[in-house]
Structures are given as structure tokens and as C-alpha cells.
Chains A and B, each alone.
Chain A
Amino acid sequence: MSSASKKTLVVTRFDPDRDSEPRSQRYEIPVQDDWMVLDALNYIKDEVDGTLAHRWSCRMAVCGSCGMMVNGEPRLTCKDHLRQYGDTVTVAPLANFPVVRDLVIEMDGFMEKLKSVKPWIVRAKELAVEAGPTRQSPEQLEEFKQFSMCINCMLCYSACPVVSNEPEFLGPAAIALGHRYNLDSRDEGARERNQVFRGEGTVFSCSYANECSEVCPKHVDPAAAVNQSKFNAVIDWATSLVLPRGGKE
């Protein structure tokens, strides 16, 4: 049985048609003990102020839609109990992203970075369906499994100090997902991805703050992926120098 109390949510608001810059708005609302931060935002939206804009969908930390800055930390609001915070809780849009409206960020930049690393299985020659499934041993699966748990919630981008300063940097999630396919035994696209990793948004911009791994709600380790990718990118570059035809088949 949950009990009701009151909390004040200080929510960042921004209306591109009216506001020159984001502002804060306070909402004092009754809350239940078992509420997540997202429940409080939905209460405000439903009962107090219907103009509040925020993204959410699954409510079970799977879709990655409801990432926001809660008391200055990037959090998935559907996974974050309201009771762990004090009487006043600040909710802001994810840091390092342009803000479309209120708590809604512009995702296009991230989607472009993600697409550039080809987060899908690349084959030199597609296998025929008749050839049957491509088998993979548990050991082969284990090599990339944790990186495939990424839900693209973009919390890692909000925590990364390099993303704040270097717009070209591919960023933790995109590199982690590219790395995930590089480690997949079925994939043959590592060389293409490593070229992207060495290119304009280079993995070498990462200064290993490790914040991406600290804030990941799915316990993926993007910092490991980024730094393993540095090593692989160097090896790939070095072998392309010494092998005939740059090591191309």
C-alpha cells in the first residue's frame, strides 16, 4: 500500500514559439511512495499542466525514451524512484542535446552518428536462406552480448564531457553498437567501421572519463567499447599498411 505525500518538481520548460531560452517551472504535487519520476511527470501532464512535453513509452526501461536529467544526473525516469530524492526534484532535458520543447531533445544528430557506424550485420556476400542459420557458440555470443543490451537512451551522451565540446565525436552508444557488430562472428564489416572510428568523429577523442559506463541504466560498458575500438582501429590501420592491397580481399 503506497502513501501520499507532497513533492516539488522543478521542471525545465521551453516553448520555441514563445521562449527565447529555457526557464524553470515549479509544480507542487501529491506523490505516491511507489512512484517513479516519470509517474510524477505524467501526473503533471494529466492533472496540472497539459502543455508539458516529455517523451516516454514502455515504462519498463526497455524503449529508452524517457531519459532526462534528474537532479543533474542523466537518468531513465521510468527506472528512477521518486522517493530517493528530497522534497524538491529538478527535471531537465538531457544535457548536450538541443532542446525541441520542454523535456524533449532533438535526436537526429544521434541517429546520424548511429547510422554512420552501420549497426547491423555486414556481409561481403549474403548467405542463401537455404544455407540455414549461422551458428554461434556461447563463447562467441559472450564477446559482444553486453554491448547489444544498449537501448539507445542517450544517457551516455549526456554524461560525456567530450560530447559537450566536440560535436564530431561519434559518442559512446554509437561506438558501443558499432563495436558490438565488429565482435560478432557473423559480421564482415569491421574494416568499414574501423575507418569510421578513425575518421572525423574519431574514437581517439575519448579521454576515458568513464562517465558513460557509470550512468548506463542497462549496465553496458560503452567506455570499454570505445577504448577497445581504439586498439582495434590502430591494429586495423597498421595491418592495412603492411599487407598487400591494404589487407583487402
Chain B
Amino acid sequence: MARPANPHAMHSAHSGRTRTAPPLMPDQFPLRGRYRAYTLFDLTGAVYLVMGLVMLRVVWALGSGSHAWQPLREAFASPAWVAFHCFALICVVFVGVRFFRLFPKAQPPRIGPLKPPPGLAIYALLYLVWITVSIAFLLIVGMGLFR
């Protein structure tokens, strides 16, 4: 059975005299059918929130000197943190792929006289930038720039 929607969903500002049954949400929302991918997409926001907080902690540790930084580095080597970061990577890839799939059609047909490139070119450009930035980060980390 579908859950109730907001009781004012699609209501008229000038209601008639007929008593109506309140609106219901789509049956499959939020965890079945195509809604599942959308809900998972939104849930990844929680992962980004944790990642943001971790990033703040890292910045704080960096600013506090090696006595704060070293224990944090060691903690990040623990299986729990490695698992979390692997999970976060999966979330980022999932969101990236979904975003890239939907991004081209969100482009306006033209800005003044300028037309966007074909969808395929936008896809290719997005993935090229993503891969390039990822490789750049890997090189920076791999070369030990921050060691």
C-alpha cells in the first residue's frame, strides 16, 4: 500500500465542494523499482557528510603538528577506515556515473549563439576530466608530495 503524500499535493487553490480522498505517493517510492537507484543516490549524501567531517578532522590535525597528525595517519591504516574509504569510493563512482549520464541533457540548447557540443562529446569530456584529475591525485599521493 502506498504511503500518504503531502495532503496538499496537487490540491487546487480553489477547492470544489466534492470531498476528495487524499493523495498517495507512488507505490514504489522510495525503495522499489527505479526509485531505489534515486534513493541510493540521495543516501550517498550521508557518506559525503562523514567524509566532510573527516576532512575537517584531518585539516585540524595537520594544523596541530605531528603529535596530532601521526596518530591520525595510523588510525587511517586500520581495516575499518580502509573499508570506509573503499565504500566512499564506490559511492563517488556511483554518483559520478549517474551525474554524468544525466548531465548532458541538462545543458541549455544554446547560450546566445553558442550551442553545446553533442551529448557524446560532453560524456567524453566529463570522463576525461575525471580520469585526468584522478591520475593527477594518484601521482601526487604516489610521489609522496605530502610526506
For chain A residues 86-132, which have a beta carbon within 8 Å of chain B? Answer: 92, 95-101, 105-106, 108-112
Q: Tell me if A85 is interfacial: C-beta within 8 Å of chain B.
A: no
Question: Whole-angstrom distance between the alpha carbons of A232 and B14 in the complex?
Answer: 31
Q: Tell me if B52 is interfacial: C-beta within 8 Å of chain A.
A: no
For chain A residues 209-230, which have a beta carbon within 8 Å of chain B? Answer: 209-211, 214, 221, 223-224, 227-228, 230
Interface string of A57-79 (1 = CB under 8 A from B): 00000000000010011100000
Number of interface residues of B (CB under 8 A): 39
Are B26 and A158 touching (Cβ within 8 A)? yes
Question: Whole-angstrom distance between the alpha carbons of A228 and B104 in the complex?
Answer: 10
Are A95 and B106 touching (Cβ within 8 A)? no
Are A223 and B10 touching (Cβ within 8 A)? no
Interface string of B11-24 (1 = CB under 8 A from A): 11111101111111
A100 to chain B, nearest CB (A): 6
- Prevailing SS type, chain A contact patch: mixed
Question: Whole-angstrom distance between the alpha carbons of A19 and B14 in the complex?
Answer: 23
Q: Tell me if B134 is interfacial: C-beta within 8 Å of chain A.
A: no
Q: Tell me if A30 is interfacial: C-beta within 8 Å of chain B.
A: no
Question: Whole-angstrom distance between the alpha carbons of A158 and B35 in the complex?
Answer: 13
Question: Whole-angstrom distance between the alpha carbons of A130 and B2 in the complex?
Answer: 57
B26 interface neighbour in A112, A159, A171, A208, Cβ under 8 Å: A159
